[in-house]
Amino acid sequence: MSAAQAELEQLEASLLSDIASAGDEQAIEAVRVAALGKKGSVSEKLKTLGAMSAEERQVMGPAINGLKDRVAAALAERKTALRDAAIEARLASEKLDVTLPVRQSPAERGRIHPISQVIDEIAAIFGDLGFAIAEGPDVETDHYNFTALNFPEGHPAREMHDTFFFQPDDNGERRLLRTHTSPVQIRTMEAQKPPIRIVIPGKTYRQDSDATHSPMFHQLEGLVIDRTANVANMKWVLSEFCKAFFEVPSVNMRFRPSFFPFTEPSLEVDIQCDRSRPGEVRFGEGNDWMEILGCGMVHPNVLRHGGLDPDEYQGFAWGMGIDRIAMLKYGMPDLRAFFDADVRWLQHYGFRPLDLPTLFGGLSQ
């Protein structure tokens, strides 16, 4: 080995030692400049090639270039190692306690009241049956709430309604809070010709208050008027509704003759259920009959009040308590809590804002 080669080996050992001991990227850069920079030790060696003889160059050329390549590779390797170590160190120092809680999304915190949710469920079902949703005012006249619905003046049926009245006006006429959603039947007949298929959700009011009665409550009225709609159709619509609403494959319903001034014949409907488990109602099984709605063929006088000839048009109507069917389906024990706005109750019985009832996606989750 020539002295020049021994020198090269020494230089290589020294440079590799410097690379290995460089502690950070700055140090490794200094080593790189010292070795491979313009005036670096390896660069200086390369410059010496020009002055060599061809034979010398044949030996020293590869030797010096080999040194250069090895030093460069060692530099790159060391640099990568140092960068990796730096990243690891940074990551270690950035560690956070991910078990710390995050704030809940407002879309998860908010709640839709069961009444609104159930009205949406009802709209989904009746929409599928081709019904539209109608509405009407809470403050009504005696005409729309009673007279046009065939409640004769002084009839005991009027008394059953426990009506809220307003102070009489200058003409002595006193308005009232509607006791049912049925006035909208008349308003609809006045506004539109048959065929009529509507459901009417809304607030109703009676002077009554206990666990199952509230002075303000919500009713769902239904009205079908055409030239053929009959009791058999009514039974079908109502049983289809109950199945869909309670989300059970079948329900047993009992239609009992009853009386309402605005329908003739009139029926009350009980639904078979199991109430043997405390606080829970199951439909489609059990031995109890629970009254769920009233219905009937629209009374000829009501059709007349709506401007229709009862020998030409016929139809059926029904009414049920929205709060009541909500209580039955979702198990709230006390109607009064519906109107108390207790956030614990709303949180528990309310619905998440994005739970939209649809038939294709299921009415409830």
Name which of residues 254 to 283 contact another protein (CB under 8 A).
255-259, 264-268
Number of CB atoms found within 10 A of residue 304's CB: 14
**Residue 59 or 115 with smaller CB distance to another protein:** 115
Nearer to another protein, 45 or 178 (CB): 178
Residue 127 or 286 with smaller CB distance to another protein: 127
Interface of this chain with another protein, residues 298 to 317, rule: CB under 8 A: 299-300, 310-312, 314
Q: Which is nearer to another protein, 16 or 267 (CB)?
A: 267
Q: Is the dihedral of CA 9, 14, 19, 20 positive or negative?
A: positive
Cα dist from 272 to 248, 252, 255, whole Å:
12, 5, 11
Nearest distance from C-beta of residue 103 to another protein, angstroms: 4
CB of 71 to another protein, least distance (A): 44
- In angstroms, the CA 279 to CA 333 distance is 7
Q: Are 164 and 205 in contact (CB under 8 A)?
A: yes
For the chain, how many residues are written? 365
Report which of 49, 66, 111 is spatially closest to residue 345, judged by C-alpha positions: 111
Q: Under the criterion CB under 8 A, does residue 297 sit at the interface with another protein?
A: yes
Cα–Cα–Cα angle for 281, 318, 202, rounded to 5 degrees: 80
Q: By C-alpha distance, which of 131, 365, 117 is closest to 241?
A: 131
Q: How far is the CB of 233 from another protein (least distance, A)?
A: 5
CA distances 28 to 31, 38, 87, 251, 342, Å, are 5, 16, 17, 82, 68
Q: How far is the CB of 226 from another protein (least distance, A)?
A: 8
Nearer to another protein, 283 or 349 (CB): 349
Instruction: Please give the residues from 328 up to 347 whose contact with another protein meets the rule CB under 8 A.
Output: 338-344, 346-347
- Comparing C-alpha atoms, which of 176, 252, 167, 168 is closest to residue 207? 176
CB of 303 to another protein, least distance (A): 10
**Strand-pair category, 314-321 with 288-298:** antiparallel
What residue has token string 């010096």?
64
Cβ nearer to another protein, comparing 69 with 173: 173
| Binding piece for another protein, criterion CB under 8 A, among 10-18, 70-78, 327-335, 353-361 | 353-361
* Nearer residue to another protein within complex by CB, 43 or 239: 239
Candidates 60, 75, 186, 237: give the one binding another protein (CB under 8 A).
Answer: 237
Number of residues that bind another protein (CB under 8 A): 94
Q: Is 264 annotated as a binding residue?
A: yes
190 scored as a contact of another protein (CB under 8 A): no
Q: How many CB atoms lie within 10 A of CB 52?
A: 15
> What are the backbone dihedrals phi and psi of residue 41, each rounded to the nearest 5 degrees, phi first?
-60, -40
55 is a contact residue toward another protein (CB under 8 A):
no
Q: Please report how close the Cβ of residue 33 comes to another protein at its closest, in angstroms.
A: 39
Q: Map the footprint of another protein across residues 96-125, applying CB under 8 A.
A: 100-101, 103-104, 106-107, 109-113, 115-116, 120, 123
Burial 103-112 (b: 16+ CB within 10 A, else e): eeeeeeeebb
The CB-of-280 to another protein minimum distance in angstroms stands at: 24
The least distance separating another protein from the CB of residue 208, rounded to whole angstroms, comes to 8
Site residues (CB under 8 A) for another protein, limited to 128-187: 128-133, 135-139, 153-157, 159-160, 164-169, 174-175, 177
Q: Out of 239, 275, 286, 290, which residue is the one contacting another protein (CB under 8 A)?
A: 239
Q: Closer CB to another protein, residue 5 or residue 250?
A: 250
Hey, how many other C-beta atoms are within 10 angstroms of the C-beta on 126?
Answer: 23
Task: Count Cβ atoms within 10 A of the Cβ of residue 78 and give its class: 0-12 exposed, 13-18 middle, 19 or more buried.
Answer: buried
Residue 207 in the binding site for another protein (CB under 8 A): yes
Q: Which residues are annotated as a binding site for Mg(2+)?
A: 264
Residue stretches of the annotated binding site: 264
